[in-house]
Structure 1
Amino acid sequence: MINSIGLRYFVGVARVGSIRRAAEELHVAASAISRQIHLLEEDLGSALFERHRGQKMMKLTPAGEVVLAYARGVEDGLEQVRTDIRSIKTLQRGTVKLGISESFTREFLPQFLQRFHTLYPGINFEVVVAGGSKLVEQLARDELDISLSYIAPDIFDITVVEQVFIKPCLLVASNHAFAKRPFVDLSECADEEMALPDETLTIRGSYVRMFAKAKIKPRSVMVTNSFELMRASATAGLCVAIVNKYFGGPKSPRGLKYVPLRGKGVEKWPLNICVHTDRNLPAAARIFLEHLQQAVRRFAADD
């Protein structure tokens, strides 16, 4: 294990380019810094600074550059530890950066956030609503802590930490002929005017596959990139829509009905919670992630 004192002195010299200046900033003797760096070089078996007669500024060797990168990683890790400890001391204060698909913004997300905020009032939220592909990109850039969407990421930097499968439903107005049915066969939707997602929504591929397997051609009265518009249009009686099941409680909101879909072609949708691989999430985000995982497991248990 690298000596922490030697590493600290090494970083100080690398930052200012001089043992004398580093000694002044660190309030230690220059001889002590010089000795610690010498011991560190002996331990690693390589010179960390170039040494030339008449050289005014100390420059790192390639080995020194490697050690400096390591030292910065250690410092970043320690700062995260300090942040986490402060979060615990202040009753988990912090900010969670969440990315979520639009289909969860009306029923699931507000109620989930309200319950979580009651338990952890010191944690606030930054929420991005976007398509699954966009959320994966933002996760990879660490612009988000967590994402919830139907897309399965296809890049190495993203990990699915929870995946459940949700059956789609047919959303109809409460006065629709299907509203009193316990379920509807997908083939029965052939004559229904429907609202469908457009090509910008990842989930569209599932619609295409389902209709192909059921051997029906949907009658689309609307194609849109908004699940909210699809739901509102079905509620108004303009059309029907295939959406995820209702997550808001035991009863559907007044004026509409979520009818389970069955039959050939119906496929479950994979709901994924994703994080950036190997990223050390802040304490607030880790707490939030645990609660989110529990919530989506309840979705699957009810299906």
Structure 2
Amino acid sequence: MNTNPKSFKREERYEWKAELRLVSSNALKYFVGVVKAGSMRRAAEELHVAASAISRLIHLLEEELGAELLERHRGQKGAKLTPEGEVVLKYAMALEAGLEAVRDDIQSLKAVRRGKVKLGISESFTRDFVPQFLQRFHAEYPGITFEVTVAGGNKLTEMVANQHIDVSLSYITPDTFNVSVVAQAMTTPCLLVARSHPFAQRDYVDISECAGEDIALPDASLTIRESYVRMFAKAKIRPRGLLVTNSFELMRASAGAGLAVAIVDRYFGDHQAPARMKYVPLRGQGLDRWPLNVSVHADRSLPSAAAIFVERLCAAVRAVAAVKR
């Protein structure tokens, strides 16, 4: 076949250009191969392609670009680049690196299609936020399964530190050198009372007014217990702890039954109190905002499935926090 474009008829030129578009990627590959190997002969050996095929494609590439890429002198040993060849080499190397990055991304996407995420959460998130988030995530990544542990913040932080879970969602993460908070939302607690309670008719309640109330409190196994102690100390009150428990759900249910009032956060997410209960805003000295933290191990590279899960969870927490503000 005639490979000299100057001798082509018009119809032949159209065919040649169409062929050139098909082979240009191979031409760049062979061009880089020749430069790396130092000669067409050695490149042919390494690429397992005939030297004549390499030469032909590089000639076609030069014709397309309108410039010689390799110097060709009688008796010359090795491949020597022209200035134009230097430019093309930089482009070809960048293209090669880009393709490698694409391959890596594709492999990562394949890995994300399957896997298991080990999540630890505080009990408060079992009602609405986490089930709804898991449903949305499952719809996007149906091959990923979940293993969820419900525990207090101290226990969850320990599990993250020991790599027993991939990520935790809890209030007030204890300081630990190998656990990092990767997303945080600040929430303000409020009073949860039965609709029959006098406070249910109020626009807000000062925290000092809780001194005369039977109250449901978290026990010492929950990290947020310290926040209650600090809050009551600043407000200079000592409420009657009628019920002390490690279950926020029991605290809420006790308030709904009229047994006690409870200082809690609203359920994190799109949630309204049941008909028999009412959230009443709190005010006054000592009222703290509670940090809700997404935490992971500081030095661990998470599996692909867990990494994308953490990314989505952080975004969801920030989004809900923005609405609540």
Q: Does TM, scored on the shorter chain, surpass 0.5?
A: yes
What is the CA distance between 1:152 and its match in structure 2? 2.8
In structure 2, the partner of 1:281 is 302
Deviation at 1:96, TM superposition (A): 0.8
What is the aligned partner in structure 1 of residue 260 from structure 2?
239
Which letter maps to 1:230? M
How far did residue 288 of structure 1 move? 1.3
Contact 1:84 1:283 in 2 (8 A): no
**Does 117-126 or 270-279 show the bigger shift?**
117-126
1:224 matched residue in structure 2:
245
- Residue 200 (structure 1) aligned with residue 221 (structure 2): yes
Question: What is the TM-score normalised by the length of structure 2?
Answer: 0.64
How far did 1:212 drift? 0.8
Partner of 2:170: 149
C-alpha distance in 1 between matches for 2:320 and 2:282: 16
2:320 and 2:207 map into 1 onto residues whose CA distance is: 22
2:109 matched residue in structure 1: 88
Per the alignment, residue 249 of structure 1 pairs with 270
Distance in 2 separating the partners of 1:249 and 1:295: 12
2:187 aligned residue? 166
Structure 1 counterpart SS, 2:198: coil
User: Secondary structure of 1:121's match?
Assistant: coil
Opposite residue 180 of structure 1, the aligned amino acid is Q
Amino acid at match of 1:214: A
1:246 CA drift (Å): 2.6
The aligned residue for residue 286 of structure 2 is 265
**C-alpha distance in 1 between matches for 2:309 and 2:160:** 16
Kindly, what percent of the aligned residue pairs are identical?
A: 65
For structure 2, the residue ranges without an aligned partner over 5 or more in a row are 1-102
The answer as to whether partners of 1:84 and 1:282 remain within 8 angstroms in 2 is: no
Deviation per residue, 1:50-74 (Å, 9 max, x gap): xxxxxxxxxxxxxxxxxxxxxxxxx
- 1:172 CA displacement: 1.1
87 and 173 in structure 1: CA distance in 2 versus 1, 3 angstrom threshold: farther
| Deviation of the 1:112 alpha carbon | 1.8
Q: Is the 8 A contact 2:188 2:289 kept in 1?
A: yes
Tell me the amino acid that sits aligned with residue 254 of structure 1. Answer: A
Residue in structure 1 matched with residue 233 of structure 2 by the alignment:
212
Structure 2 distance, partners of 1:246, 1:99, is 17
Count of residue pairs the alignment pairs up: 222
- Structure 2 partner of 1:99: 120
How many Å separate the matches in 1 of 2:294 and 2:170? 7
**CA distance in 2 between partners of 1:223 and 1:130 (Å):** 16
Where in structure 1 are there 5+ consecutive unaligned residues? 1-81
Q: Give the Cα–Cα distance (whole angstroms) in 1 for the partners of residues 301 and 266 of structure 2.
A: 33
Question: Is contact 1:132-1:150 (8 Å) kept?
Answer: yes
Contact 2:173 2:223 in 1 (8 A): no
Question: C-alpha separation between the residues in 1 aligned to 2:148 and 2:242?
Answer: 31
Aligned-pair distance for 1:275?
Answer: 0.6
1:181 Cα deviation (Å)?
2.7
Residue type at the aligned position of 1:182? D
Three-state SS of the structure 1 residue aligned to 2:319 is helix
Q: Residues 249-286 of structure 1: CA distance to partner in whole angstroms, max 9, x if unpaired?
A: 25322221222211111000111111111211112112
How far residue 182 of structure 1 moved from its aligned partner, in angstroms, is 2.9
* 1:142-174, Cα deviation, whole Å (9 max, x unpaired): 111101112333222111111221101111112
Compare 133-142 and 106-115 and name the one that shifted more.
106-115
Map of 1:126 onto structure 2: 147
Question: CA–CA distance in 2 between the matches of 1:181 and 1:264?
Answer: 18
Q: 1:178 is paired with a residue of what secondary structure?
A: helix
- Counterpart residue number, 2:197: 176
**Would the alpha carbon gap of residues 180 and 288 (structure 1) be closer, same or farther in structure 2, given more than 3 Å must change?**
farther
C-alpha distance in 1, partners of 2:303/2:246?
A: 33
Indicate how the Cα distance of structure 1 residues 233 and 154 shifts in structure 2: closer, same or farther if over 3 A, else same.
same
Two-structure CA RMSD over aligned residues (Å)? 2.1
Larger of the two Rg values belongs to structure: 2
The amino acid that maps onto 2:144 is I
1:166 touches 1:271 (CA, 8 Å); kept in 2? yes
1:140 CA displacement: 1.6
The alignment partner of 2:259 has SS state of: coil
How far apart are 1:85 and its partner, in Å? 5.7
1:197 Cα deviation after fit: 0.8
Q: Give the residue type in structure 2 aligned to 1:199.
A: A
Deviations 1:75-102 (A, max 9, x none): xxxxxxx998666237622211001111
